[in-house]
Structure 1
Amino acid sequence: MGSRLISGDALATSLLISLDQPRSTRCHPLPHAAPILVSEPPSTPCEATERQYAAIPVRIRDGHLQVMLITSRETRRWVVPKGWPEKKLNARGVAANEAFEEAGLIGTIHKKPLGTFHYFKVMPSGKRLPCAVDAYLFEVERELEDWPEKHQRERRWVSPSQAALMVAEGGLVSILLSLASMAVDEEG
């Protein structure tokens, strides 16, 4: 019998699972949970030349974990908020700032990334730029009605498993499936 996911306004009141421990001891309160490191295998054809930082926005609703996806501006694919390094912000700051600018979210970003995924950024010139993206769990506390890119993007809350079906990047799919497996295990 698995642990139940505790409902509440803050994801910090829920339980997440550290997969590197035996089942009987692997449930931890979220602030103390070991990060789940998921990344594309080293054999990936993507030799990343650029680094980006992403937020994986999450919340608990009706006792279930949800992830927010947004559409990209040009291709309208489902993605997570992400952006380029900025001189005045560290990696976590960039990820949190992108969650605000691209999705209108305010919240708490975790200190360590959940994992890294790779993709090709298609530049206006048509050039495909290989990127490695460090993805940080972002616990949503507020969802704004108005935000900088509101008229350029769509946003949607879905289950982690549904999110994994909606995104195109294999490494991001792996990260989302790790969240989905934790949520299913916890719901028993």
Structure 2
Amino acid sequence: MKSLRSLAGFLTGWSERNGEPRRQVAVLPVRTGPDGTLQVMLITSRETRRWVAPKGWPMKGLKNYEAAAREAYEEAGLIGRVGRRALGSYFYNKRLKSRDTVLCQVQVFRLEVRKQLKTWPEQEERECRWFSVQDAAEAVTEAGLAALIRAVGAEGAKARKAKVKVAGKNTDLKNTGLETQAAKDPDPKKPDPKGTSAKPGVAKSADTKSAGAKVPAAKAPTAKASAPKASAPKSKAAGKASDPKGA
């Protein structure tokens, strides 16, 4: 048994000393769902078929977050941006092929999933599924992992709330601008100090009539009214000249 543990420690780059837990790395795959809420992907373990996060042993030549992202690809076909800073860690008892169990401490990194490949190395060995934050926390058996899932969900909810608040402020600013512009425009119900109306068309018509401008519609009545007055005296004078009695 000690030889198997020593071999495993040599292959993974970690060793058990004084009963210290074995070290593993994992990712918490997340994405934004269609309704705008955060979703978490979990996969099944090969031995117990329980829901877990993609995880594995540290890899030589790779940083912990890089090794965790590699496990996400091999176990679930996930591609995305992995955080370099761990979210935290949790403990669980891992069952080895020898049927023995060993205590492991898992360092968890956040993975913002961009896509899932159509094929990946362990596709036929595991199931994978997207969960809501609450369902994912209830699906896992490790209390520490459930706490990390809930913490990530709370952080996501806080970020969404802040985003909505900022969007609301922008909308208020736009409305305020509209109200300010409306305040600058003259009120059509109130008299204009300059004597003009709020409607441009009416203002022009009113100004034209008041200024006495020549308008075709206004000429006709004037011409008709003045024509009889001018012709009456001329007719009388002509009548006197042609009337023999008057002569």
State the TM-score, normalized to the length of structure 1: 0.72
Q: Does 1:56 align with 2:56?
A: no
Structure 1 alignment gaps of length 5 or more: 1-46
> What is aligned with 1:43?
none
Q: Does 1:168 align with 2:141?
A: yes
Query: How do 1:109-120 residues align onto structure 2 when only pairs under 5 Å count?
Result: 109-120=82-93
Cα displacement (A) at 1:145? 1.2
Q: Select the structure that is richer in strand.
A: 1
SS in 2 for 1:52: strand
> What is aligned with 1:13?
none
CA contact (8 A) 1:48 1:118 kept: no
Distance 1:163 1:61 in 2: 14
Q: 1:147 aligns with which of 98, 108, 120?
A: 120
CA contact (8 A) 1:48 1:132 kept: no
The alignment of Structure 1 onto Structure 2 pairs a total of residues equal to 142
Q: 2:73 aligns with which of 84, 100, 104?
A: 100
Distance 1:68 1:163 in 2: 8
Query: How do 1:12-91 residues align onto structure 2 when only pairs under 5 Å count?
Result: 48-62=20-34, 63-91=36-64
> What is aligned with 2:129?
156
After superposition, what is the alpha-carbon deviation per residue over 1:137-167, rounded to whole angstroms, capped at 9, x for unaligned? Answer: 0011111111000000000001111100000
SS in 2 for 1:131: strand
Is the alpha carbon distance of 1:66 and 1:157 closer, same or farther for their aligned partners in structure 2, counting shifts above 3 Å?
Answer: same
> What is aligned with 2:105?
132
Q: Select the structure that is richer in helix.
A: 2
State the TM-score, normalized to the length of structure 2: 0.55
Distance 1:92 1:186 in 2: 23
Distance 2:71 2:123 in 1: 13
Q: Return the letter of the residue paired with 2:95.
A: V
Cα displacement (A) at 1:86? 1.1
Cα displacement (A) at 1:48? 4.4
Indicate the structure (1 or 2) with the bigger Cα radius of gyration. Answer: 2
After superposition, what is the alpha-carbon deviation per residue over 1:86-133, rounded to whole angstroms, capped at 9, x for unaligned? Answer: 112110111000000000001111010001000010111121111000
After superposition, what is the alpha-carbon deviation per residue over 1:49-105, rounded to whole angstroms, capped at 9, x for unaligned? Answer: 210000100111221111100000111100000000111211011100000000000
Runs of 4+ in 1 over 6 A off after TM superposition: none
Distance 1:187 1:114 in 2: 19
CA contact (8 A) 1:65 1:160 kept: yes
Structure 2 alignment gaps of length 5 or more: 1-18, 162-247
Give me the identity figure in percent: 45
CA contact (8 A) 1:70 1:103 kept: yes
Bigger Cα displacement from structure 2, 178-187 vs 60-69:
178-187
SS in 2 for 1:150: coil
Q: Return the letter of the residue paired with 1:49.
A: P
CA contact (8 A) 1:118 1:132 kept: yes
